[in-house]
């Protein structure tokens, strides 16, 4: 089984936030100690980092799961829980991350680029956070937020200096094996190479002056066929590795037994490159005639070579080294790469109609507003209403067409919407009255009781 993997999946699970603590001071000679519950710790994040020391996505083939640790719960005496540990997931430079619908989310094209794949859940606030002049003894706290959990598709686009392009069985693997330490599978049948092979080519070391040596990375791209740009065969899987190559080395089979003439091969290959990505035709390229030792003619090529006898190989490598050096210099002058940190766009609050009289509120800010441990507590409901109104949820519901008596769900909270001339359907007075009516019906509260719930 090949050790090179250019497509894999990732399951990223961020850590859950720790729960806030409900606690009150218990000290000698202190009759009514105040709230002292600590906050829960935030869950760890999952980060993807482009690492130049990674060559493929092999590590994700059999183990796609990456998980950060959870935050710790808060405790009494205002002691906050510890934050969960982030996890750094190293991926090769040139990794493209896509969602389940094959939409590109981020392209980690430079060394050190970072992307927040899954954000850890916020820790819940302890009851000490909700102390106010009106609320002297808050008996509620927040629950920790659940960390994000997502599947991603990873694709690797190699960033090689030279890409070998040609029809199947044209001699690309033999050439890279001769000029580098790469040892790809070589056989006398088409499609021997099914995954790209990388080799480091060193030029100038034979002269005894290592300081003048040039090194570049050569990629043996699996053979292309006519129609590859439209996805025929494995065209898209192979062509994406050509996108970032600095120099293109087009190999043409000059043997008399080749199915197409060298000019036809060149026409087909260049057409497929242009159809896939037009600017590939603007890259520096060298036209090489393979199997020159058995060729009858060598017109129309820049370098006739034979990887078996070594004919023309040194001249070809010297020319590729010059083109790579020039391309690197132009690239460095044009742009200096800076490490980019990619973060997801914050979620918005959305109102969705589920049925004629049922509505749903989604979006991370709204779900965070209702994450309390005890939603039957009147004081907790007051805080929920305040947060939702601050987010403008009541206005969103009104604009969406919610009518009196409709059922609205937001996370773990479900309530009936009522609006009158005096206030909003989210007013806490309505919720308090509703709770009093429930208690009255159950016999736990006298209807005439005028005790204030505050």
Give the pLDDT score at 263: 87
| 208: confidence class by pLDDT, cuts 50, 70, 90 | very low
Q: Are 256 and 296 in contact (CB under 8 A)?
A: yes
Q: pLDDT digits over 174-189, tens only?
A: 888 888 765 544 444 3
Residue 15 confidence (pLDDT)? 96
In this prediction, residue 115 carries a pLDDT of 94
- The pLDDT of residue 21: 95
- The answer to whether 345 touches 328, Cβ cutoff 8 Å, is no
Give me the long-range contacts of 53-56 (CB less than 8 A, separation at least 24).
53/90, 54/90, 54/91, 54/92, 54/93, 55/4, 55/92, 55/198, 56/3, 56/4, 56/5, 56/6, 56/92, 56/156
Q: In which element (H, E) is residue 248 found?
A: strand 247-253
Instruction: Specify whether the CB–CB gap between 92 and 40 falls below 8 A.
Output: no
Mean pLDDT of all residues belonging to the chain: 80
Q: Which of 39-48, 340-349, 366-375, 391-400 has the highest mean pLDDT?
A: 39-48
Model confidence at 334, pLDDT cuts 50, 70, 90, reads low
| pLDDT for position 1 | 39
Domain ranges of the chain: 1-156, 162-334, 350-441
Please report, to the nearest 10 degrees, the dihedral formed by the alpha carbons of residues 65, 68, 69, 71 taken in order: -140
Measured distance CA(44)–CA(109) in Å, rounded: 25
Architecture field, domain 350-441: 2-Layer Sandwich (3.30)
Give residue-wise pLDDT tens across range 226-248.
554 444 444 445 677 788 788 99
391-429 tens-digit pLDDT = 998 889 888 889 888 899 998 888 888 765 444 556 555
CATH architecture of 162-334: 3-Layer(aba) Sandwich (3.40)
CATH number, domain 1-156: 2.70.210.12
Query: Residue 182 has what pLDDT?
Result: 56
The yes-or-no verdict on residue 119 having pLDDT over 90 is yes
One DSSP character per residue, 46-94 reads EEEEEETT--SSGGGTS--EEEPPPPPPPBTTTBPPPPPPPEEEEEETT
- Residues contacting 450, CB < 8 A, separation 6+: none
pLDDT in tens, 267-310: 888 888 888 888 888 889 999 888 887 776 667 788 888 888 88
Which pLDDT value is given to residue 176?
84
How many other C-beta atoms lie within 10 A of the C-beta of residue 354? 11
What percentage of the chain's residues is helix, strand, coil (to nearest 5)? Answer: 25, 25, 50
CA nearest neighbour of 60 among 88, 101, 90, 99: 90
Name the most confidently modeled range: 131-135, 335-339, 445-449: 131-135
Predicted local distance difference test score (pLDDT) of residue 241: 74
Strands laid side by side in the 407-410 sheet: 350-355, 358-362, 407-410, 413-416
162 against 56, higher pLDDT: 162
pLDDT of residue 268: 85
Q: Is the pLDDT of residue 224 over 50?
A: yes
Q: What is the pLDDT of residues 40-83, one digit of tens each?
A: 999 999 999 998 888 778 889 889 999 999 999 999 999 999 99
Closest CA to 117 of 136, 95, 135: 95
């Amino acid at each position: 089984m090949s050790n090179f993997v250019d497509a894999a999946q990732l399951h990223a699970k961020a850590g859950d936030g720790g729960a806030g603590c409900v606690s009150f001071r218990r000290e000698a000679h202190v009759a009514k100690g105040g709230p002292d519950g600590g906050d829960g710790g935030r869950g760890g994040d999952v980060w993807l980092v482009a690492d130049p020391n990674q060559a493929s996505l092999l590590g994700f083939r059999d183990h796609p799961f990456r998980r950060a640790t959870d935050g710790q719960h808060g405790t009494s005496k205002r002691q906050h829980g510890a934050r969960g540990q982030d996890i750094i997931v190293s991926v090769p430079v040139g990794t493209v991350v896509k969602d389940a619908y094959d939409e590109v989310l981020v392209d980690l094209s430079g060394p050190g680029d970072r992307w927040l794949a899954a954000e850890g859940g916020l820790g819940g606030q302890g009851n000490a956070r909700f102390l106010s002049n009106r609320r002297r003894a808050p008996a509620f706290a927040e629950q920790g937020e659940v960390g994000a959990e997502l599947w991603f598709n990873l694709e690797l686009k190699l960033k090689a200096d030279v890409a070998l392009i040609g029809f199947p069985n044209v001699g690309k693997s033999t050439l890279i094996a001769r000029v580098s330490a790469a040892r790809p599978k070589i056989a006398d049948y088409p499609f021997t190479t099914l995954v790209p092979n990388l080799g480091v080519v060193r030029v100038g070391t034979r002269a005894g002056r290592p300081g003048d040596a040039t090194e570049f990375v050569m990629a043996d791209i699996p053979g292309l066929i006519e129609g590859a740009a439209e996805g025929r065969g494995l065209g898209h899987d192979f062509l994406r590795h050509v996108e970032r190559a600095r120099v293109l080395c087009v190999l043409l089979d000059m043997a008399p037994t080749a199915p197409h003439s060298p000019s036809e091969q060149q026409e087909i290959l260049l057409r497929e490159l242009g159809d896939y990505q037009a600017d590939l035709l603007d890259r520096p390229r060298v036209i090489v005639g393979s199997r020159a030792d058995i060729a009858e003619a060598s017109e129309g090529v820049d370098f006739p070579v034979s990887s078996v006898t070594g004919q023309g190989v040194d001249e070809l490598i010297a020319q590729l080294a010059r083109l790579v050096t020039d391309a690197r210099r132009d690239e460095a002058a044009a742009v200096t790469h800076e490490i980019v940190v990619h973060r997801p766009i914050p979620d918005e609050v959305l109102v969705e109609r589920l049925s004629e009289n049922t509505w749903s509120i989604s979006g991370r800010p709204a779900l965070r507003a209702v994450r309390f441990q005890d939603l039957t507590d009147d004081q907790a409901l007051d805080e929920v209403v305040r947060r939702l109104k601050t987010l403008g949820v009541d206005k969103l519901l009104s604009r969406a067409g919610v009518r009196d008596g409709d059922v609205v769900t937001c996370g773990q909270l479900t309530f009936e919407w009522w609006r009158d001339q005096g206030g909003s359907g989210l007013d806490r007075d309505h919720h308090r009255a509703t709770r009093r009516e429930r208690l009255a019906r159950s016999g736990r509260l006298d209807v005439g009781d005028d005790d204030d719930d505050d």
